[in-house]
Amino acid sequence: MTGLTGLTAALAALGMTATLAGCGASVASDDTVTLKMVAADYGDSPANSTQKYWDEVTAAFEKKNPGIEVDVDVRSWSEVDAAVAAMVKKGDAPDIAQIGAYADYAAQGKLYSADDLLSIPVQADFLPALSQAGELRRVQYGMPFASSTRLLFYNKDLFAQAGVTGAPQSWTELAADARKLKAAGVKYPFALPLGREEAPAETLMWLLSGGDGYTDNVGTYTLDSEANIKTFKWLRDDLVGEGLTGPTAPGELDRQDAFNAFSRGEVGMLNGHPTLMKQAAKKGVEYGMVPLPGVNGKAKATMGVADWMMGFKQHGHKAEIGKFLDFVYADENVLEFSDRYDILPVTSSASDAMAEDPKYKHLREFLEELPNSELYPVGKTSWAQVSAAVKQRIGKAVERDGDPAAILQRLQNEAVAAESAE
């Protein structure tokens, strides 16, 4: 991995300068302010735990900012959101959290806005789609920290064995390619992970592919739209019903299990994010990547995802939090994090640097899709409840005897109820 110093040199070579200036006032006395931060772990082993990244960043920050210390507690994704929720409920919120959702805390008035914390150049550097996704009632509280888009991965060797030439450009071609893969003995012609691990993501990819999404352009839930119902009827009839999704029912197939099967050479096609590249390459799988096609060509948009940084008001360390976050979002730090974990940058300057650097050629297709991607409706406090309902029910919509219209209508009713309760 490139060290922080190495990335500074790389940025200089690209004619860029990392901006490390903070927006907050300096500590007013000799007393040291200690910021408490809880963050998610993006590593897959102790050897590449994100704790090591934060230890490096905080050491560099504290050297430049005497009087401010930052204590970062890194937790696994399975517990980090619940850990922060418990701290807030107990009345001892962290100063900073880097977790999966911000809207509930913002709606309760517990967070500083991005305007409160960040310098103007740093806030303006966020990719617009990500800034907008971080807003609640048109005020940005969630600051994007890590982002990703999704692409359709396909196994080149399995395609060649099945006589498939080139990636599918429409749903008709996708189903036809899957039938050829099945005839060639491929275990999972198209892996469709609608299990609880990440069902909302796979669902959104297909809703966008079918021309709609979770919400309309003014943010109203549209789960049971005609387009969405048609999408899930097609999945039920043309993929699952034709036996093209493999031996595990989509509602029981989790994302990581599908990734593992792809890396074993058992999957012809599936939707994936950048971490699948490294996993597949380790196993010697030759793969290609393209955007998931739409009904008759290009999809409405590619799905994007983001994780969020937020500053809590409880302990009143606005200036110190802002100074630290300005440092965190310096190009050298954003790129270092992206480099370690195959995550896309959330700022325009770091994205441009990555796009121009041959080292990151493997991420360019994901980078190209990010600016126009569509994210979950994370600015809705109802989203957490809706997401949980999707995880619980959506797999049943594609069962051979499933009723997509009834299931999507039930999800819509639950979404409307959750929205009215905000």
Q: Rg of the Cα trace of the chain? A: 22
Percent of the chain at pLDDT > 70 equals: 93
Is the CB of residue 35 less than 8 Å from the CB of residue 70?
Answer: yes
What pTM did the predictor assign?
0.81
Rounded alpha-carbon distances, angstroms, from residue 330 to 51, 181, 254, 288, 335: 19, 46, 35, 32, 9
Confidence (pLDDT) at 26: 37
Indicate whether 24 pLDDT > 90.
Answer: no
Indicate whether 11 pLDDT > 60.
Answer: no
**201 burial type by CB count under 10 A (0-12 exposed, 13-18 middle, 19+ buried):** buried
Choose among 52, 107, 176: nearest CA to 379: 107
In this prediction, residue 415 has a pLDDT band, given cuts at 50, 70 and 90, of very high
Task: Tell me how far apart the alpha carbons of residues 35 and 281 are, in angstroms, rounded to a whole number.
Answer: 39
- What 3-state DSSP class applies to 41? coil
- Average pLDDT over the chain reads 90
As a whole number, mean pLDDT of residues 223-237 equals: 98
Strand partners, 303: 374
Indicate whether 184 pLDDT > 70.
Answer: yes
**Any residues with CB less than 8 A from the CB of 101 and at least 6 apart, and which?**
81, 308, 378, 383, 384
Confidence (pLDDT) at 117: 98
Confidence (pLDDT) at 422: 66
Confidence (pLDDT) at 87: 97
Confidence (pLDDT) at 213: 96
Indicate whether 331 pLDDT > 80.
Answer: yes
Number of other CB atoms surrounding residue 11 within 10 Å: 20
Is the CB of residue 297 less than 8 Å from the CB of residue 209?
Answer: no
Complete DSSP assignment for 184-232: TT-SEEE----STTTHHHHHHHHHHHTT--SB-TTS-B-TT-HHHHHHH
* Residue with the two structure tokens 């030439």: 165
Confidence (pLDDT) at 253: 96
Confidence (pLDDT) at 14: 38
Stronger pLDDT, 232 or 27, i.e. the higher one: 232
Task: Tell me how far apart the alpha carbons of residues 372 and 368 are, in angstroms, rounded to a whole number.
Answer: 8
Q: Which helix (H) or strand (E) covers residue 290, if one does?
A: strand 287-290
Q: Could you read off the pLDDT of 360-392 as tens digits, one per residue?
A: 888 888 998 888 889 999 989 899 889 989 999
As a whole number, mean pLDDT of residues 93-117 equals: 96
As a whole number, mean pLDDT of residues 313-331 equals: 97
Q: Which domains does the chain have, with CATH numbers?
A: 4-148+305-372 (3.40.190.10), 151-301+382-420 (3.40.190.10)
Tell me, what amino acid is at 109? G
Choose among 298, 261, 323, 353: nearest CA to 122: 323
Indicate whether 255 pLDDT > 60.
Answer: yes
Confidence (pLDDT) at 18: 37
Q: Could you read off the pLDDT of 43-77 as tens digits, one per residue?
A: 877 888 999 999 999 999 999 999 999 999 999 88
Is the CB of residue 301 less than 8 Å from the CB of residue 208?
Answer: yes
Q: Could you read off the pLDDT of 266-317 as tens digits, one per residue?
A: 999 999 998 899 899 999 999 999 999 999 998 988 999 899 999 999 999 9
N-to-C CA span, the chain = 45
